[in-house]
Amino acid sequence: MRCMLKRLSLLWLLILAGLAAAPVWAAEGDAAAIVQSFGGKQGYDETETHIKEAAATGDPAVAPALRALRDGNLYWRKSDEAVFIATESGDTLKLADPMTGADAGTAPKDDFTKVRVKNSIRVAVTAALGSLTLRAENAVQRLRAADTLFSEADPEMIEPLDGAIAAETDATVKARMEEARAAAVLESDRPAEEKAAAAKVLEQRGDREALNKLATFASSTKDEAARGAAERAIAAIESNIAFWGQAQNVWYGLSLGSVLLLAAIGLAITFGVMGVINMAHGEMVMLGAYTTFVVQEQIRQSAPFLFEWSLAIAIPLAFLVSAAVGLVLERSLIRFLYGRPLETLLATFGVSLVLQQAVRSIFGPTNRQVGNPDWMSGAFDVGMMSVTWNRLWIIVFALLVFAALLLVLNKTPLGLQMRAVTQNRKMASAMGIRTPWIDAMTFALGSGIAGMAGVALSQIDNVSPNLGQGYIIDSFMVVVFGGVGNLWGTLVGAMTLGILNKLLEPFAGAVLGKIVVLVLIILFIQKRPRGLFAQKGRFVDA
Amino acid sequence: MDLRTKRLGTLTAAAIASFCVTGAFAQDKPSGEPIKIGILHSLSGTMAISETTLKDAMLMLIDEQNKKGGVLGRPLEAVVVDPASDWPLFAEKARELISQDKVAAVFGCWTSVSRKSVLPVFKELDNILFYPVQYEGEESERNVFYTGAAPNQQAIPAVDYLMDEGVQRWVLEGTDYVYPRTTNKILEQYLKDKGVAAEDIKINYTPFGFSDWQTEVSAIKDFGSAGKKTAVVSTVNGDANVPFYKELANQGIKATDIPVVAFSVGEEELAGIDTGPLVGHLAAWNYFESVDTPENKEFIDKWHKFIGNDKRVTNDPMEAHYIGFNMWVKAVEKAGTTDPDKVIDALPGVEQANLTGGMSKMLPNHHITKPVLIGEIQSDGQFEVVSETDDLVPGDAWSDFLPESKKLEADWVDLKCGNYDTEAKKCLGDAAK
């Protein structure tokens, strides 16, 4: 390994000297032969040796084959052990030359064997690619190379990194390379001043990995001055991390709060405004999630190009499906039980079991796969906080649903009539409002919103018949805590519970954290039985 | 939820009746009074997700056996009940199966709590339970045969594999109930015995059905950035796994950075997830659908044909039922009767080929020998085996890594005891509980 890195450094010097043309130090035949050595039955150890040999050629031409190996796309032919890069399509393989990438036709899968990989092989490939792709055309590849070198922190790589830094044009990549160089300097036997400077560079980076490099260095070095610099850097990073840790917890809290808000907001209508204890609320959420599944299935079969839009298509459909079920439920059952909360509770609990088992019979008891569109996958960094896209979109979606609901309640005739019926049913009736119809519409609205919540929850939770059960208790908690009959109360209640939960979790653990929150709510309800924002409603009047 | 007992064997029985009339095939086709087999798996409620498949697998096995001529020349009849994921109901339904339906043996249960709930019933009415799921050990009962893995057949080899891969720091992540707690207790002791420092082990529990993994996953990320190679050993239960893996993928934790090895995630659980970002995470089982043996191929083909859907996967507990059922058949034929008492005595020593190319054997402690396979998740939702024990590993009822159970031994052949104290040289019996 060491010897190959020396060769590599030599190579960089050569390039700096202006020989940036095609690779001349290693004959192409060499690299090709090494790639061919992946053919044939071999153990993981052997494969790893071949990877190291490939990296030692220093020839970027081996990179495509290594990448294919890592991704499980490198095959060898059973008849002559020739190695190909191949992609599967049904029972055949599309072959390509491992060196040139030229098309090599197709062949039946049974004639080939995949080169076996496991995690340690993938790690070895990534390390090998790191040294090979430091000067790659693609900035992303160079960035990855720099990151790999950072975690390896190999003093032998300082010189090649110097060369690469001098030639680098992309500011981000350059900064990463400098960090990688600093990490390597700390490991080297360079003078103390240089190490102190390197500690500064790592302090700028300021994350846990930098902290870890500094800590290892501080505990092992004998040089007082360099250790002092490292310890100052450690202290600075630690306070920074503590700050961002709290910020991260608040963010997680907001995100949990938005999930609670979504789950509870439909209930805020049916339970909060109408006073119906609807135990089947969670199943409305579940129906929304299954609607998303059905929509995605249809799209996969008949219009795959629409997949990125599947959630947008699912939202109105989920609303309609759940609203329709809610409407049927209200007309056929709940309207006969108004004013009898206990019977309503039992009846809707029964309905929830019926709905669960119905879904189980239709779709089966196992989880259904709902895919994440690309714009909902992955994460990005804000400072030292990582923000995942799906959580961000769910927060946005929850707030949009909330705003839309406020608008409906306050600015539309339906909303006006709803509020009128809630506040004084007899008077509203006397004014010519068809109160039974308003009841049905209100219940359908609340159910439909639960369905929309199901679309969002399908992105982060299991789509199984039990999906709704997990949310019903939390939803009631939010609505009761926020104040029955008040939408703003639901918003504040959901966010408070979310943040409280997430601030407690790191100290108390998830199990105890939940218990503490529950106890706090009980105490709070003792003090203020009507929740944060108490409001008059029919339920209160009755 | 008063689901009535379903009798699915009537068709078979009718077919058999017609053969009896003609009498032409009396030699080949089973005849006479059917032998009843109880199937005690939840078909509704939380656990239906896992247990329904096992019910179908059992129906298939019984169907196969009837085609082969039944047992002792008599046809088998499945009696399916639904304990609805309700633990006390498991005991009631078990009683119903044994006292009313007079079944010869019961195949069932998934969670440890359901097994504990039916134990007294099986003891009192003296019947046989085949339990097909990996579990925490620390138990050996005369009436129960454990065809799933004991901790030494799953957890310990998995940890050994990761140690070979250079892992030095460990997160033991589990759902808060008896199986993860006991397994983690054993693993913690094992790791410490192997010289892992206490600060390099982090144990964390979450509630059942937990779905908001943000804090936990970011804590794992932090714990793993301490410079030592870190791995997560996950005993997270069924439903909570999908959000867990989704969060791992979202926060960009790759298997090459921090691998997660799971003991409760199989082909069936992965069917609900896009496994692309999970490639390289691990699972330890005694069977994978991807294992390439003629027996396994035949089993998968039969399963697809029986269930009428060639996308349905097979998994480890299904194999456990396959082994357990065939062992029962052999034991009944050996004993010449279906009387549970005699079959219990006939079972230890019975051998049955498993689906991964080995010969599993029922041991005197009522556990079986199994191979341990470590597999990496592939992008198609299957596992690729990356490590396999050279020999079959005998199941150990009482862990050697817990001080209080080290001295205990289970042997129902010579000692006739499930918890024999080798130091005091006496059987603790029920008094120990």
**Do the Cβ atoms of B251 and A122 come within 8 Å?**
no
In a domain, A305, yes or no: yes
pLDDT confidence of residue B28? 56
pLDDT at site A537: 47
Same domain (yes/no): B221, B265 = yes
**Rounded distance between C-alpha atoms, residue B279 and residue B289, angstroms:** 17
CA dist., res. A296 & res. A308, Å (int): 10
Q: Which of A207, A389, A510 sits opposite B210 (nearest CB)?
A: A510
Q: Are residues B24 and B125 in the same domain?
A: yes
Three-state DSSP class for A512? helix
* Separation between Cα atoms, residue B349 and residue B351, nearest integer Å: 6
CB atoms within 10 A of CB A7: 14
- Residues in A closer than 8 angstroms to B312, CB to CB, are none
Instruction: Determine, for residues A514 and B212 on separate chains, whether the beta-carbon distance falls below 8 Å.
Output: no
The per-residue pLDDT for range B94-152, each reduced to its tens digit, is 999 999 999 999 999 998 889 999 999 999 999 999 999 999 999 999 999 999 999 99
Q: Which residue has the higher pLDDT, B108 or A98?
A: B108
Give the total number of structural domains in chain A.
2
Same domain, B233 and B198: yes
Residue of B nearest to A126 (CA): B256
Q: Is residue A232 part of a domain?
A: no
Q: Is the pLDDT of residue B3 over 80?
A: no
B382 touching A, CB under 8 A? no
Q: Domain boundary residue among A132, A156, A191?
A: A132
- Local confidence band at A92 (pLDDT 50, 70, 90 cut-offs): confident
Res A286 pLDDT > 90: yes
Together in a domain, B124 and B166: no
Q: Which of A90, A107, A132 is the last residue of a domain?
A: A132
CA–CA separation, B29 vs B67, rounded Å?
A: 8
pLDDT digit string (tens) for A352-384? 999 999 999 899 887 888 888 888 888 888 877
Contacts of B57 in chain A (CB under 8 A): none
The answer as to whether B1 is a domain residue is no
pLDDT classification of A132: cutoffs 50, 70, 90: confident
Question: Nearest-CA distance from B232 to chain A in Å?
Answer: 14
B144, part of any domain? yes
Question: What is the CATH number for A530?
Answer: 1.10.3470
In this model, does residue A8 exceed pLDDT 70? no
Q: Is residue A20 part of a domain?
A: yes
In a domain, A189, yes or no: no
Distances (CA, A) of A159 to A164, A173, B318, B380: 9, 17, 57, 42
Cα–Cα nearest to A258, from A517, A494, A513: A494
For residue A369, what is the nearest residue in chain B, using CA coordinates? B272
Phi and psi at B228, nearest 5°, equal: -95, 150
Looking at residue A225, its pLDDT comes to 80
Asked if B216 lies within 8 A of A510 by C-beta distance, the reply is yes
The SS3 of residue B257 is: coil
pLDDT on residue A19: 39
Residue B251 CA: distances (Å) to CA of A237, A390, B214, B215, B233: 22, 11, 9, 11, 18
Q: What's the pLDDT score for residue A18?
A: 42
Rg (CA), chain A: 31
CA angle (A132, A52, A55) in 5-degree steps: 20
| B383 lies in the same domain as B259 | yes
Q: Which long-range contacts (CB under 8 A, 24 or more apart) does A350-354 make?
A: A351/A279, A351/A280, A351/A283, A352/A279, A352/A280, A352/A282, A352/A283, A352/A468, A352/A472, A353/B1
Higher pLDDT, A322 or B28: A322
Is the same domain home to B56 and B102? yes
Q: Are B313 and B267 in contact, with CB atoms under 8 Å apart?
A: yes
- Average of pLDDT values for A88-113? 84
Q: Say whether the ipTM exceeds 0.90.
A: no
Q: Note the pLDDT of residue A12.
A: 54
Asked if residue A28 has pLDDT above 80, the reply is no
Among residues A309, A313, A314, A268, the alpha carbon closest in space to that of A289 is found at A314
- The pLDDT value recorded for residue A104 is 84
Report CB contact under 8 Å: A357, B44: yes
Q: Which of A255, A262, A248, A388 is nearest to A318 (CA)?
A: A262
Based on the fold, state whether residues B160 and B123 are members of the same structural domain.
Answer: no
Report whether pLDDT(B1) > 80: no
Q: Would you state the pLDDT for residue A536?
A: 56
Say whether both B168 and B185 belong to one domain.
yes
Position A481 pLDDT exceeds 60: yes
Structure tokens at A430: 């006397």
Mean pLDDT within A416-425: 86
pLDDT of A202 > 70? The answer is yes
A122, B52: Cβ pair inside 8 Å? no
Instruction: Answer whether residue A157 is part of any domain.
Output: no
Report yes or no on A89 lying in a domain: yes
Mean of pLDDT values over B56-70? 95
User: Are both B13 and B131 inside the same structural domain?
Assistant: yes
What are A506-538's pLDDT values in tens digits?
A: 888 888 988 999 999 999 989 888 888 876 544
Host domain of residue B411? 403-432
Residues 520-539 on A with a CB inside 8 Å of B are: none
Does B239 sit within 8 Å of A464, measured CB to CB? yes
Three-state DSSP state, A262: helix
| Nearest-CB residue to A369 (from B166, B176, B273) | B273
Q: Which residue range(s) make up the domain with A125?
A: 2-132
Please write the tens of the pLDDT for every residue from B285-323.
Answer: 999 999 989 999 999 999 999 999 888 899 999 999 999
What domain count does chain B have? 3
State the pLDDT at residue B29. Answer: 66
Domain for residue B106, yes or no? yes
| Confidence at residue A4, expressed as pLDDT on a 0 to 100 scale | 53
Share of chain A above pLDDT 70, in %: 93
pLDDT at B14: 45
- The confidence score (pLDDT) of residue B324 equals 97
Residues B359 and B250 in one domain: no
pLDDT at A11 over 60: no
| Length of chain B (residues) | 433
Mean pLDDT on B76-97: 94
H/E segment holding residue B428: none
Residue B239 has what pLDDT?
Answer: 75
Burial class of residue A242 in the structure, from the number of CB atoms within 10 Å of its CB (0-12 exposed, 13-18 middle, 19+ buried): exposed
Chain segment B147-185, per-residue pLDDT in tens: 999 999 999 999 999 999 999 999 999 998 888 999 999
Taking only the tens place, the pLDDT of each residue in A429-465 is 999 999 999 999 999 999 999 999 999 999 888 888 8
Residue B370 pLDDT class (50, 70, 90 cuts): very high
Domain boundary among A81, A99, A132: A132
Exposure string over B106-131, b if 16+ CB within 10 A, otherwise e: bbbbbbbebbebbbebbeeeebbbbb
Domain-located, residue A240 = no
Residues B359 and B389 in one domain: no
Report the chain A residue with the minimal C-alpha distance to residue B222: A208
**What pLDDT does residue B5 have?**
42
Q: Say whether residue B140 is in contact with chain A using an 8 A CB cutoff.
A: no
- pLDDT higher than 60, residue A31: yes
Please report how many Cα atoms fall inside a 13 Å half-sphere around the Cα of residue A45, on the Cβ side.
2
Mean pLDDT over the full length of chain B: 88
Confirm whether A164 is domain-assigned. no
pLDDT category of residue A206 using cuts at 50, 70 and 90:
confident
Tell me the three-class secondary structure of A117-168, residue by residue. Answer: CCHHHHHHHHHHHHHHCCCCCCHHHHHHHHHHHHHHCCHHHHHHHHHHHHHC
Q: What is the mean pLDDT of chain A?
A: 85
Q: What is the pLDDT of residue A9?
A: 55
Tokens at residue A323, please?
A: 């609203």
CB contact under 8 A, A378 and B259: no
Average pLDDT over residues B26-55: 84
In tens, the pLDDT along B242-280 reads 889 888 888 888 898 899 999 988 888 887 777 888 889
Examine the pLDDT at B16 and tell me if it is beyond 60. Answer: no
Q: Is B248 in the same domain as B377? A: yes
Q: Does A357 touch chain B (CB under 8 A)?
A: yes
- Contact by Cβ (8 Å): B173, B232: yes
Q: Is A69 on the interface with B (CB under 8 A)?
A: no
Across A100-114, B64-78, B412-426, the highest mean pLDDT is recorded for: B64-78
Both tokens of A218, joined, read 């501080």
Chain segment A330-360, per-residue pLDDT in tens: 999 999 998 888 999 999 999 999 999 999 9
Token pair 């609205």 is at which residue?
A445
Q: Is B139 inside a domain boundary?
A: yes
